[in-house]
Amino acid sequence: MNLELDGHVAVVTGGASGIGLACARAFAAEGCRVALWDRSPRVTEAAAGIAGDFDCSTLGIETDITDLDAMREAVLETESSLGPIAHLTHAAAIGSGKFGFPFTNLTPEDWPRVLEVNIMGMVNVAHAVAPGMVERKAGTMVFIGSVAAQIGSPTDPPYSASKAANINFAHCLAKDLAPHGIRVNIVNPGMVRTPLNRSVWEAWNRRQPPERQRSYEDWAGEKVRTVAPLARWQQPEDVADMVAFLSSSRAAQVTAQSINVDGGQVIRW
């Protein structure tokens, strides 16, 4: 299938690691020029690696999505270096770093940082990127949500609540931006082996008595087999494939959709 993304400019937040990095690589494989925005200093190296692997132009910007001015600067830097932004994938997010079941394992003080990064970060990115797309009357946005937004996930309540907010705001964006020719969708992964996923296990394991502690592989392997009908991990590339498709003209009639790449973990009817 030709996704017709060749020569387009794609921005991926959280592009230095995990799912964001896989999305950036997927856009590069399709012939895009790719900007990675991430607060990790590894972002420059990640961008250089993609440029080498796919012989394409990339840009790594070390920046923080909680800073609106920095997001506006990142747009200017990306557009002056690579050209007008055609596609946004927003994957940057954090968890609380604590195991939040029951919710009283956390204190209210554990919430604001997660909400600031995961909700206000998305808001800042949308405010920075949308005006150019509106002016050009074209563009796509894909936000990475989570199955945690859709169920009472026994892990991290502020994270789950922030992901639910991501889905809701993305639906607002989709309605607002449709008249301007901009499509907005959400992709919800289930279990993907990344540093963020590992931190959930670490937080759980820390709270267990020694006899109940388990390796990441044992904990996650059993969880995946229990919760997902397909009974296996999703790979970052599984999520990236859906993101690339939704960003492409092959999905020209798809907007305001929340699509799970979760091995069937969440079944709705």
Ligand X SMILES: NC(=O)c1ccc[n+]([C@@H]2O[C@H](COP(=O)([O-])OP(=O)(O)OC[C@H]3O[C@@H](n4cnc5c(N)ncnc54)[C@H](O)[C@@H]3O)[C@@H](O)[C@H]2O)c1
- Integer-rounded Cα Rg, in Å, for the chain is 18
Identify which of residues 82 and 92 has a Cβ nearer to ligand X in the complex.
92
Identify which of residues 197 and 258 has a Cβ nearer to ligand X in the complex.
197
Helices (H), the chain: 18-29, 43-54, 68-81, 111-115, 121-136, 157-177, 195-206, 216-227, 236-247
Identify which of residues 86 and 196 has a Cβ nearer to ligand X in the complex.
196
CA dist., res. 97 & res. 184, Å (int): 29
- Output the smallest distance, CB 211 to ligand X, in A: 27
Identify which of residues 24 and 135 has a Cβ nearer to ligand X in the complex.
24
Applying CB under 6 A, which residues contact ligand X?
Answer: 14, 16-20, 38-40, 64-66, 91-94, 117, 121, 144, 146, 189, 191-192, 194-197
Please state whether beta strands 87-90 and 58-62 pair in parallel, antiparallel, or not at all (unpaired).
unpaired
- Output the smallest distance, CB 65 to ligand X, in A: 4
Considering the candidates 37, 99, 143, 159, report the single residue annotated as catalytic: 159
- The CB-nearest residue to ligand X is 18
CA dist., res. 10 & res. 262, Å (int): 24
Instruction: State the SS3 of 67-90.
Output: CHHHHHHHHHHHHHHCCCCCEEEE
Question: Is 159 assigned a catalytic role?
Answer: yes
CA dist., res. 190 & res. 24, Å (int): 20
| Location of structure tokens 């920046």 | 63
Identify which of residues 66 and 134 has a Cβ nearer to ligand X in the complex.
66
Identify which of residues 46 and 174 has a Cβ nearer to ligand X in the complex.
46
Q: How many residues does the chain have?
A: 269
- For residue 212, the 8-state DSSP code is G
- From residue 23, give the alpha-carbon distance in Å to each of 14, 97, 182, 225: 10, 24, 19, 25
Contacts of 211 (CB under 8 A, 6+ apart): none
Cβ-defined contacts of 102-106 (< 8 Å, 24+): 103/157, 105/207, 106/157, 106/158
- Output the smallest distance, CB 206 to ligand X, in A: 18
Residues carrying an active site annotation: 159
